Structure 1
Amino acid sequence: MKLKYFLFILFSGLMVACKTPKDVIYFQGIDNLSEDKLAQLSTQSYSTKITYDDLLSITVSAWDPTSVTPFNPPVYAFASQGDEPVVVSEAMYNYLVDKEGNIKFPVIGTVHVEGLTKTEISEKLESLISKYVDNPLVNVQLLNFKVTLMGDFNRPGTYNIKNDRISILDAIGMAGELQLTANRTNIMVIREADGKKEIHRMDITNPNIFESPCFYLQQNDVVYVEPIASKLKSRSSSTRNFSVASSIISTLSVVASMIFSVITLSRSNN
């Protein structure tokens, strides 16, 4: 009976040791926020500003497709002898923003796009092209949106984003969550704005994370999650303690089985 009590106490202690620490829980206290506060947290605005070295895909359309041909590279080029079409590289449709924040656009020439959103670029080009074409429609896409996730992620690395809207929570999910040793209260976001580096700090255990200027990441953002040294040591210690406890339990189980077998055999001989 004493052995049973000992094993029960040992297992109870292990279960308590394995409880989830409070500092790994996201959005603590969010259920206690008022509706007005929740509404404020949900009004985070988002827009991606184009910067140098961004790669843009720009297409121009109109009711008369032939009228916008000068503004769009041809989809096909025909060989000089024969009618067999040769597909043109898609790179001809793309425009790299140079160090001055400009692109070279057909017919129009140099267009400054740095600091503008995709919508603002579309409107600017539509205004310029309207001198040659009635009611043009310009579609702008950002092709090289990427973020770099470093530190205590399960899958750190550089990720290409198919659209230009990604939150810090999307990034964490994409990288397979944070490790238990990650410091969730002091996440660093390194961002470049107007040629200067900016450092932002975030606490994802606090629901105010939705108000952070870095809740939505921008292209080329670097997110670094540092480990908590004390938790790292505690985790290593817990792993060693669990291994020792498992060995003790296994040994006690074997000893108990042997004692039970000896008692049973002794009784049967008597």
Structure 2
Amino acid sequence: MARQNMLIPRVLLLTSFMSALLSACSTAPGNFLNTSRLEDKDLTPTATYPVHLITADVIAQEQAAPDVTQPLPPARFADEAQYVYRIEPQDILGVTLWDHPELTTPQGSTLSTGGNTTQTVAGALRQPYTQALPGQADPYGQTVSPNGTIFFPFVGSVRVAGKTTGEIRDQLAAALAPYIKNPQLDVRVLAYRSQKIAMTGEVKQPGPLAVSDVPLTLVDAITRSGGTTSEADLQRVRLTRGGKLYVLDANSVLDRGDISQNVMLQSGDIINIPDRYDSRIFVMGEVKTPMPVNMVRGRASIADALTLAGGVLDTDANVRQIYVVRGARSNPARPDIFRLDMSQPDSLLLSTQFQLRPQDVVYVGTAGAVQFNRLINQVLPTLQTLFYLKQLTR
């Protein structure tokens, strides 16, 4: 009877301890989410996916697979040889009429925009005006009005919008013929201000670029913007034209000479050089530093990804289970899964030849013994607690 009386406090103590242990989630410090108000009835997916062992044949098939080419934007001119610049409002024209300096654009005049920026017309003639500069003074000349006309002595209002400098020259010569015998004149653009494109994103000098009589291509625009930054992704240059978005691969122009991607730009185009956020590769699992890896010049192999992540863990990784999960963009419901067996002699060579794609996931599996040890480490504290509780009830 006395022994039973001694057991009652021990049982009460054990019961209280177990109650406190079960409610530790609500009393222990740290982050805690009460799931009692969450209704989670979704079952774990049971779909299976085929796994392709990475071999020399698989790599050859991947390399031979045709790339998905993006449609090119419609162009006004078939090639640069057909390019013609046409005058639009806000362009500034200079007219030279031989033996008639009173009708010629003054070459020595100094002009100003009202501030400290001044220049001569001769200096303006030497400037290419391929890049719009804030505060740049305008050369003295014939500014095309919003209605597309200019005023010229003896001729009056002349419509020049939509015409080339050669057509304007012939038009003025014919209009001056009644007043000047055999007029010889020349017309040129002193400032290209009507047409421009916008450069944005990962370039060193973002801003507007003027469209001139020299054809402006994608590579030219990048060069005139000071080049790209170290985070630029030249494989996915975004061109907005006519309300539609086109993706261009400027890297193929520089590396492989694919001039089809070096499109000719036109007024109103918006060029965006994105960063490499969408070109990342994710390295996970038993590696020293799980991390996203940026592709270099649009290329990265399994060996590159594992090296940048510090390599696999010697004691924890299962080198026969290095998976590449592909399809996050095109078909996330049915991804392509590849496996590389790094225990084979030719695995190192295969790891350098298998090229990854943006958004690929490289996962290094866990060795079976490590999984068992981790399970033991999770269960052992509970077993120790039960053992001490049993000792208290004796």
TM-score of the two chains, using structure 2 as the length reference: 0.38
Cα deviation, residue 188, structure 1: 0.9
Confirm or deny that 1:69 pairs with 2:102: yes
Equivalent-residue separation in structure 2 for 1:52 and 1:230 (angstroms)? 40
Task: For 1:69, give the aligned amino acid.
Answer: E
Equivalent-residue separation in structure 2 for 1:155 and 1:166 (angstroms)? 17
1:10-159 to structure 2, matched below 5 A, reads: 45-53=82-90, 55-62=91-98, 65-66=99-100, 69-73=102-106, 75=108, 90=121, 93-133=140-180, 134-145=182-193, 146-159=196-209
Q: Is the 8 A contact 1:125 1:138 kept in 2?
A: no
- Determine the structure 2 residue equivalent to 1:201: 246
Secondary structure at 1:245 match in 2: coil
Cα deviation, residue 147, structure 1: 3.4
Q: Is the 8 A contact 2:85 2:212 kept in 1?
A: no
1:222 to 266, 270, 294: 270
Equivalent-residue separation in structure 2 for 1:47 and 1:149 (angstroms)? 22
Q: Is the 8 A contact 1:58 1:141 kept in 2?
A: yes
Higher percent of residues as helix? 1
- Determine the structure 2 residue equivalent to 1:12: none
Question: What percent of counterpart residues are identical?
Answer: 17
Secondary structure at 2:169 match in 1: helix
Equivalent-residue separation in structure 1 for 2:187 and 2:265 (angstroms)? 23
Equivalent-residue separation in structure 2 for 1:74 and 1:156 (angstroms)? 33
Secondary structure at 2:175 match in 1: helix
Q: Is the 8 A contact 1:102 1:111 kept in 2?
A: yes
TM-score of the two chains, using structure 1 as the length reference: 0.52
CA distance 1:121–1:46, change in 2 (3 Å): same
How many residue pairs are counted as aligned between the two chains? 187
Cα deviation, residue 189, structure 1: 4.0
1:238 to 293, 296, 301: 293
Task: For 2:143, give the aligned amino acid.
Answer: L
Over the aligned positions, Cα root-mean-square deviation in angstroms equals 4.3
Task: For 1:238, give the aligned amino acid.
Answer: V
Task: For 1:201, give the aligned amino acid.
Answer: Y
- Determine the structure 2 residue equivalent to 1:83: none
Cα deviation, residue 112, structure 1: 1.0
Equivalent-residue separation in structure 2 for 1:129 and 1:75 (angstroms)? 24
Cα deviation, residue 76, structure 1: 6.6
- Determine the structure 2 residue equivalent to 1:182: 233
Cα deviation, residue 187, structure 1: 2.9
Cα deviation, residue 172, structure 1: 1.8
CA distance 1:139–1:44, change in 2 (3 Å): closer
Cα deviation, residue 170, structure 1: 0.9
- Determine the structure 2 residue equivalent to 1:5: none
Deviations 1:47-90 (A, max 9, x none): 1122222x22312232xx13x5235458579xxxxxxxxxx975
Task: For 1:165, give the aligned amino acid.
Answer: P
Which protein shows a greater Rg? 2
CA distance 1:136–1:44, change in 2 (3 Å): closer
Cα deviation, residue 199, structure 1: 4.4
Deviations 1:5-41 (A, max 9, x none): xxxxxxxxxxxxxxxxx9xxxxx9xxxxxxxxxxxx8
Equivalent-residue separation in structure 2 for 1:76 and 1:237 (angstroms)? 60
Equivalent-residue separation in structure 1 for 2:87 and 2:80 (angstroms)? 22
Q: Is the 8 A contact 1:187 1:226 kept in 2?
A: yes
Deviations 1:116-170 (A, max 9, x none): 1222222222222233221312221141354321123344223457764322221
CA distance 1:241–1:222, change in 2 (3 Å): same
